[in-house]
Amino acid sequence: MDLVPALHEPLRQPLKSVLGPATAKVMAEHLGLRTVGDLLHHYPRRYEERGQLTHLADLPMDEHVTVVAQVADARLHTFASARAPRGKGQRLEVTITDGSGRLQLVFFGNGVHKPHKELLPGTRAMFAGKVSVFNRRLQLAHPAYELLRGDPEESVETWAGALIPIYPATAKLESWKIGKALQTVLPTAQEAVDPLPESLRRGRGLVPLPEALLKIHRPHTKADIEDARARLKWDEAFVLQVALARRRHADAQLPAVPREPSPDGLLTAFDARLPFTLTEGQQRVSREIFDDLATDHPMHRLLQGEVGSGKTLVALRAMLAVVDAGGQAAMLAPTEVLAQQHHRSIVEMMGELAEGGMLGGAERATKVVLLTGSMGAAARRHALLDLTTGEAGIVIGTHALIEDKVQFHDLGLVVVDEQHRFGVEQRDALRGKGKQPPHLLVMTATPIPRTVAMTVFGDLETSVLDQLPAGRSPIASHVVPAADKPHFLARAWERVREEVGNGHQAYVVCPRIGDEEDDPKKAGKKKSSGAPESPEDAAEKRPPLAVLDVADQLAKGPLQGLRVEVLHGRMHPDDKDAVMRRFAAGETDVLVATTVIEVGVNVPNATVMVIMDADRFGVSQLHQLRGRVGRGSAPGLCLLVSEMPEASAARQRLNAVAATLDGFELSRIDLEQRREGDVLGQAQSGARTSLRMLAVIEDEEIIAEAREEAAAVVAKDPELTNLPALRTALDALLDEEREQYLEKG
């Protein structure tokens, strides 16, 4: 059964368009809305009430906003400028108010005439634009606006009902234009096919889908909005959980070779040589993994743990258990630096147990080989031979492991480190190298709230390592406001010198390398409006600070005399490895690097990290980076340098990172700020996020209930033969590529 064609109808067609071709083009390019159904599922972000005004006092910086307010006053100024040297330049300043705050609007040049006539004191209108700061005051430069007149023709028709929907919009298409387009297609909502099984919908007291779509776009009361939201959230949660439940069901049907460690094998010998005892958490998680490995269908487990919680050790013990049972284990790392580091640390931990087939190797030893794209032909040939013969029980590598030439003797376990860095096909190709599907262990140091784990990793069982091993030190974090207080930055470099003077080492992290040609589009574009530039715009428009420039300036300036080296992704792998070895050996004082050091790099003597342009990184990424210091017995220090003004959202983000070391708390903040699109991995799936109404943080209860309902539905009817409408919704929301993405977690 197909969705009614009306909802599949493109918004833009060669012969007849549902909307004007220009509007349809902007919707497709900027909002990803291509069909009538897409537009119906583009929900209002919030609603304005006619009699109630927006809180101007709470406007977010840097964001494109829509506000409803009243004009308090309007003044036209003339000024001299390069373009109008005789004082003929014109600037219109309009102040709007809502009782809670005031906001200035500015218009320049020829753009002043229309608003000067229309925006008279007392006029009410909707305004849309990007919030910026000028002279320490909030302003909107050249906002688009729509007057809210009382005349029956326009306002009553356009904004029927007391509630005005405010849609997620872009600079090229304002909220009210999206609203008008929706009025055009709203009648087709009656034809929407309902994906929820009737018994579930009635049992939970949810309104039918056509009614929910009408109420979300044209509510008459707040109760209408609540009804619609409750229903639409359930749709999203349920369809997503059905996709995951079908995946789990399919995985449970796959065969796998059970892998149980022999009682006095490699694992026992390894545990005996550990110089410390495992934490309770490590013991618990290891038991969960070993139980999974002993079953005859593939393990699918997510291991999440804070930076430094000992995930690698837990993964290594799982790999040794599989080698004990006659299989091989492969660890997939996102970068060569990390693959080399893992190889080095695993060989060190295993000692003579990693010297299988060599003189001096222990009796039960195996070989641990490294496979990366940049290895020489001879070393590569040797490694490939060891894998094919089964001589190597453990292989650690980058995506080079996935190539066709790589053949395993008997692949039993795949460990994926920092899985969010890998595309679907890459993980799939490696899993396809086993004679039967291998067991899968996915590791991440990015703490994931429970609901996100249920949503994004819904086909994986989850284990959490939440204890830090003994001997790890706390990390103090501080924001360094470089523009407001330059002396704070000078003090930061003094702190670095002090740490080095005490025998420690430092990282300086920059967002960019600096050997690429600057993209003229990204480098400070000239402002065309003639408006004076705010400090925030200046900070945003300058290209991000680069490793090569910063390293040079530090070596000649504040860190003169210290041994400064650089590390970035475009260096030759041998050079990268040499730099890391020197830093690990204490031969370098300060390492100026990009985020290649974000995961896995372990130098216990490094105690201080300075992150330049910290506002250019995400919250979780900053938390990851900071985890590189304080890995030894000396306390760690992380300094977040930013030129963004104190009032900006970027600075608030940095303050949040400085205020807590709790990764789960930070991942919640990150999620709330970025919404779920990023979390569901748009970059990897190539699809728009299917979550428009559901917020994975707030709607924990709905997600948990939808998961139960979905599991029951799939257990009864895995192919959804008796639920054609649900099948259709599944195909629409999760096209093949997306379902594949979810399948791999």
Average pLDDT over residues 545-556: 90
Identify the CA nearest to 418 among candidates 313, 500, 334, 542.
Answer: 334
Residues 69, 75, 76: CA angle, nearest 5 degrees = 130
* Contact predicate 36/185, CB 8 Å: yes
Rounded Cα gap, residues 495 and 504, in angstroms: 11
Phi and psi (nearest 5°) for 68? -110, 125
Beta bridge partners of 451: none
pLDDT band at 62 (very low <50, low <70, confident <90, very high): low
pLDDT of residue 576: 85
What is the tens place of the pLDDT at every residue in 694-736?
A: 776 677 788 889 988 999 999 999 888 888 888 888 876 655 4
Residue 461 has pLDDT above 90, yes or no: no
Average pLDDT over residues 420-434: 63
More confident residue, 138 or 408: 408
What is the tens place of the pLDDT at every residue in 519-531?
A: 444 444 444 444 4
CB atoms inside a 10 Å sphere around CB 161: 14
pLDDT of residue 465: 81
Beta bridge partners of 363: none
What is the tens place of the pLDDT at every residue in 567-611?
A: 988 888 788 888 988 998 999 999 999 887 765 567 889 999 999
More confident residue, 219 or 670: 219
pLDDT of residue 155: 44
pLDDT exceeding 90 applies to what percent of the chain? 27
Return left, alpha or beta for 255; rule: phi > 0 is left, psi -120 to 50 is alpha, else beta.
beta
* Contact predicate 383/406, CB 8 Å: no
pLDDT of residue 683: 30
Residue 14 has pLDDT above 60, yes or no: no
Q: Max Cα separation, the chain?
A: 93
pLDDT band at 533 (very low <50, low <70, confident <90, very high): low
Rounded Cα gap, residues 469 and 467, in angstroms: 6
Residue 362 has pLDDT above 70, yes or no: no
pLDDT of residue 126: 82
More confident residue, 448 or 163: 163
Residue 662 has pLDDT above 50, yes or no: yes
pLDDT exceeding 70 applies to what percent of the chain? 78
pLDDT of residue 511: 87
> Helix-strand-coil percent breakdown of the chain, rounded to 5?
45, 20, 40
Residues 569, 513, 557: CA angle, nearest 5 degrees = 125
Q: What is the pTM of this model?
A: 0.63
Average pLDDT over residues 617-624: 83
Residue 448 has pLDDT above 60, yes or no: yes
What is the tens place of the pLDDT at every residue in 305-338?
A: 776 678 889 999 999 999 999 999 999 888 887 8
pLDDT of residue 676: 45
What is the tens place of the pLDDT at every residue in 559-568?
A: 999 999 999 8
Residue 224 has pLDDT above 80, yes or no: yes
More confident residue, 82 or 329: 329
Residue 293 has pLDDT above 90, yes or no: yes
pLDDT of residue 15: 38
What is the tens place of the pLDDT at every residue in 44-61?
A: 888 876 544 456 767 777
Which residues does 629 contact at the CB level (< 8 Å), separation at least 6? Answer: 475, 507, 606, 607, 608, 609, 636, 637, 638
Which residues does 301 contact at the CB level (< 8 Å), separation at least 6? Answer: 288, 289, 292, 440, 441, 442, 460, 461, 462, 463
Structure tokens at 300: 């699918």
Strands of 88-174 (E only): list them: 89-97, 102-108, 124-134, 137-141, 144-147, 163-166
Average pLDDT over residues 636-642: 93
Average pLDDT, whole number, for the chain? Answer: 79
pLDDT of residue 261: 85
Average pLDDT over residues 98-127: 86
Rounded Cα gap, residues 64 and 340, in angstroms: 44
More confident residue, 208 or 83: 208
pLDDT of residue 681: 40
pLDDT of residue 674: 55
Rounded Cα gap, residues 130 and 367, in angstroms: 59
pLDDT of residue 545: 84
Beta bridge partners of 606: 505
Strands of 144-296 (E only): list them: 144-147, 163-166
pLDDT of residue 252: 80
CB atoms inside a 10 Å sphere around CB 287: 11
Give the lowest-confidence range in 17-21, 497-501, 660-664: 17-21
Average pLDDT over residues 502-512: 92
